[in-house]
Structure 1
């Protein structure tokens, strides 16, 4: 049974020092621990521990190194979140446009457009919840102006307030015979609907980590994007092995590939390189970066 008592900030510092973490400025460490919890930081010092059971640190480990990794991860997370925003808006726009023209403005309600109708029903429940919670004026005004219309607002209204996870599920569940499914994939450079759903799933998972301020650095990511054997646009020559798809780099490559289409001339590659240069103690291997990644055609 768990019976440990909470530690004061001073006790936390003493415990870290007793385990071998060098802390030069205890006042600064105290200030940091008052703003960033012990267990949030633990994810960053975990690889520094020589003995994971006893929690003892490797020789030369410093509190300053922990904070450098934390700050790097924070800046990386903000950068990635901004990239995902551009991809999400681009994808959302295409989904609404093509499906509304091919099917109807209420295509997302029609279960006959989807492979798995049970999953579709769950997604519609999520949409209803998101609609009921929406404070957007265009949703409120729609219900006020069309009070006798029992349908949900059309796709260009409803799907503007739903989450990336929701619209990704709608897209992935579309029947393969729907032309828009391949049109959207082709316009995003992913050839056909075979590959894009797995990319969207992994991007959604990373977006949620960013939104909840969770760590990206040195993390085992849940998504595994399905990569194209011969992408039509600039890609990487040195593709990481499948065993490394849990690391961030391959996901960053997928994001960069999509971003190059929705925002040509973007500076994502240069910004990522600048961030790594800013924190020279960061090990790129913890992100799964390949040697000379910045010289790859995708990132140039």
Structure 2
């Protein structure tokens, strides 16, 4: 396969001319200029123009610049709505894992590889934690434990606050089956599902944190879905699957219902959004609220 040469850089005016050349309809060039000075051509056009071009890699003249901006703005708003729920789940899971593990194995039980499923994973975890402690050495609670407690060790209920969501997911995955089951029972789900969902949500959380795209994208880390959803043809590679996982982990049904209503309004605000490209079935409202 012949490799391509890098394309030369274009200023904003050249970007606009290039978009017109490839068939994108630009109604207001001043608006397009303002947007392209705020959002990079690559982030906007390359990502949200996917699926809107013909086989010749050009637009057919029916797609407008404003339409692509609409998809971008929808994604930004959706991502912010979703991130609020992910934050709640992350904080809640930290609490439940820390409470259970500290009670069963003691506040320094995380140091003992016998308290885990895989000693190899445990060694990697300890290395990762040492780096986090060093990185956060000036944090008041880290300094307090290091300066005022025997051996300067940090108890697990405090240490868990240094975990990224990814580290928390790995920690839960390496807990013994009976411990994973005890935590999962607090959510009313099986631990194999919780393990899968947490790993998936942590992956989506990173997309949100880096302002990534959730619209019209196949998610690389997929969750294990209940049969009631797979029988409806719901795909695990699209972001609707993420909402199904979150639905089963929430602690406030009223707030969840309000979220679903906000999401419905968001779809109405941005009519060019194709819900099916996010894995949403026609009866998505009923599925999320039932």
| TM band (smaller chain) | over 0.9
Q: Tell me, yes or no, if the aligned pair for 1:49 and 1:55 is still in contact at 8 Å.
A: yes
1:248-299 deviation digits (Å, cap 9, x = unpaired): 111111112212xx33321221121121121122111111101121022x42
Higher relative helix content: 2
Aligned residues: 283
Gaps of 5+ in 2: none
CA distance in 2, matches of 1:34, 1:170: 42
**SS at 1:149's partner residue?**
helix
Distance 1:114 1:58, change over 3 A: farther
1:40 aligned onto 2:43: yes
Instruction: State TM-score, norm by structure 1.
Output: 0.89
Correspondence for 1:233: none
**SS at 1:15's partner residue?**
helix
Gaps of 5+ in 1: 231-235
CA distance in 2, matches of 1:138, 1:263: 30
CA distance in 2, matches of 1:240, 1:131: 45
Q: What are the within-5 Å matches in structure 2 for residues 14-53 of structure 1?
A: 14-41=17-44, 42-51=46-55
Distance 1:58 1:186, change over 3 A: farther
Q: CA deviation at 1:227?
A: 2.4
Q: CA deviation at 1:189?
A: 2.2
Structure 1 range deviating more: 118-127 or 70-79: 118-127
Correspondence for 2:125: 123
1:106 aligned onto 2:108: yes
Q: CA deviation at 1:3?
A: 4.0
Q: What are the within-5 Å matches in structure 2 for residues 220-299 of structure 1?
A: 220-229=218-227, 239-241=232-234, 244-259=235-250, 262-266=251-255, 267-296=258-287, 298-299=288-289
**SS at 2:32's partner residue?**
helix
| Root mean square deviation, CA, Å | 1.7
